[in-house]
Amino acid sequence: MTPPAAPNSAAARDIAYALHPYTDHRAHEKNGPMIIISGKGVRVTDDAGREYLETVAGLWCASLGFSNERLVEAATAQMRKLPFYHGFTSRSHEPLIELSEMLIARAPVPMSKVFFANSGSEANDTAIKMIWYYNNAIGRPNKKKIISRIKGYHGVTLAAASLTGLPNNHKLFDLPIAGVLHTSCPHFYRFGAEGETEDAFATRMADELEAMILAEGPDTVAGFFAEPVMGAGGVIIPPRGYFAKIQAVLRKYDVLMVADEVICGFGRTGEYWGTQTFGVQPDIITCAKALSASFLPISAVMVNDRVFQGLADGSASVGTWGHGFTYSGHPVPAAVAIETLKIYDEMDIVGHVKRVGAHMQASLRAAFADHPLVGEVRGIGMIAAVELSADKAARSPFDPARKMGARLVKLGEAHGLILRALPGDAIAFSPPLIMEIDEVDEMVERFGHALDELAVQARRESITVV
């Protein structure tokens, strides 16, 4: 049991005053926080001086690690030159313009314009509003419903949390809002039928989407949101051919495709964009996190010319496009993002991820695919998951009450790893993109020790069938 926080300590002050995201606050009152005080490269250090390998890059986001002087200098220089300006009513500034130009040049498919926000949630909320506005502007006021996927994650603002297909993001929040629907999760390991091939499973996923669109009425369905790799829902890799089949359905019924690249964008999957890895042809792209290496908050929404023309016509009829944030395109995060993209180019981020990611995927599979507690090891590029299973042959999950994933996270801390447990006791790996092969080997070795300790505990408590 965690000892009580000393009076007036940072931990005690945290418990007294801070309301944490994604936290059981009754448990937090008892156990207190882990307080991180510094970081360098792929490692962070807590207030007791313990150092950890950060295996999830914070929240999938610290792509260049936890120290980069070029990004510090970019922020400092911009703060001295122009610490704030906005983009409302045709105002602009150089960082906003340059970053827009850089993103359009790097887009995986032809895009027309870029809108800036401050988080992935805001970007996805913005994309929903764009779709509604667009359809009103072109005379389709009934075409408004949005489809996302069970286990998908698109954020926590009101509409984005509705898109998110995870129960804990809806319970007690009165979500999802009306007009948001959820189709099947494309996790072949978990939801493939006995004897079903991966291709047949992908076909079934597309058929179920088409059936939903027909049941709702194609003239009412406006957009489909998907992460190329589903992140917080469990690092779920789509089955072969999945997106081609899904895209055919969307085109058949004129449903806009939104690629949520908040986690996958900027090299994570081994291509610059996850849409390139899986052959997706989106109408709208949202991105954040690695856009600025998460040194400062910024996100972006890119739209193709078809969508932009509708938005422009609508704004002419109304007199404005009445959407935006005080900090949309804030010059300081924009300057940091510009420098981040330059660093990616210089280090050949895609080539680096292909090389290190191939080693990471092979190492995780070699070390853990046959482990008695592991049901599946999956991933691509530098994103992966190790999913625990109570029965490998039957692919049976553990009883959630056992909290096996959370227990493994705590054991990982004892071995100098910061881990993240996802739904279904899947442990995510999404380290900083600067991680090198020797650091991957260290991560895998330490995780193996933690996993073996969990196996010993499981046998003692008779909670596996092994």
Burial 179-213 (b: 16+ CB within 10 A, else e): bbbbbbbbbbebbbeeeeeeeebbbbbbeebbebb
Average pLDDT over residues 395-423: 95
Which strand ranges, in their side-by-side order, compose the sheet holding 51-54?
36-40, 43-46, 51-54, 417-418
The sheet with strand 180-183 has its strands ordered as 113-117, 299-303, 284-287, 256-260, 221-226, 145-149, 180-183
Task: State the pLDDT at residue 6.
Answer: 74
pLDDT digits (tens, 9 = 90+) for 346-379: 999 999 999 999 999 999 999 999 999 999 999 9
What is the per-residue pLDDT for 367? 98
Q: Tally the residues of the chain.
A: 466
DSSP state of 289: G
* Mean pLDDT score, 100-125: 98
Give the per-residue pLDDT at 466: 43
Mean pLDDT of 85-106: 98
Structure confidence at residue 7 as a pLDDT band (50, 70, 90): confident
- Contact yes or no for 142/219 (Cβ under 8 A): yes
Residue 410 pLDDT > 70, yes or no? yes
Q: 284 has which bridge partners?
A: 258, 303
Per-chain mean pLDDT for the chain: 96
Please name the amino acid found at residue 344. Y
**In the prediction, which pLDDT does 2 show?**
54
pLDDT top residue among 8 and 418:
418
Asked if pLDDT for residue 289 goes beyond 80, the answer is: yes
Q: pLDDT band at 1, cuts 50/70/90?
A: very low
Mean pLDDT across the stretch 295-319?
A: 98
Condensed to tens digits (0 to 9), the pLDDT of residues 56-77 reads 999 999 999 999 999 999 999 9
> How many whole angstroms separate alpha carbon 451 and alpha carbon 297?
34
Calculate the alpha carbon distances from 98 to 42, 88, 110, 342 in Å.
Answer: 29, 17, 18, 12
Q: Which of 2-6, 108-112, 213-217, 239-243 comes out lowest in average pLDDT?
A: 2-6
DSSP structure string for 355-370: HHHHHHHHHHHHHHTT
Whether residue 3 has pLDDT greater than 70? no
Average pLDDT (79-108) is: 98
Quote the pLDDT of residue 363.
Answer: 98
In this prediction, residues 400-410 reach a mean pLDDT of 95
Using the structure block, give the residue that is written with the tokens 């049991």.
1
Distance CA 213, CA 250 (A): 9
386-409 average pLDDT score = 93
Note whether 127 and 110 are within 8 A (CB). no
The pLDDT of 196-222, averaged and rounded, is: 98
Query: Tell me, what's the pLDDT at 104?
Result: 98
Across 316-320, average pLDDT: 97
Neighbours of 132 (CB within 10 A): 18
Q: How confident is the model at residue 393 (pLDDT cuts 50, 70, 90)?
A: confident
3-state secondary structure of 435: coil
**What is the rounded radius of gyration, in angstroms, for the C-alpha atoms of the chain?**
22
pLDDT, residue 356, reads 98
Q: If you average pLDDT over residues 338-348, what whole number do you get?
A: 98
Q: Which domains does the chain have, with CATH numbers?
A: 34-67+349-460 (3.90.1150.10), 70-347 (3.40.640.10)
pLDDT class of 256 with cuts at 50, 70, 90: very high
pLDDT tens for residues 182-193? 999 999 999 999
Averaged pLDDT, 210-216? 98
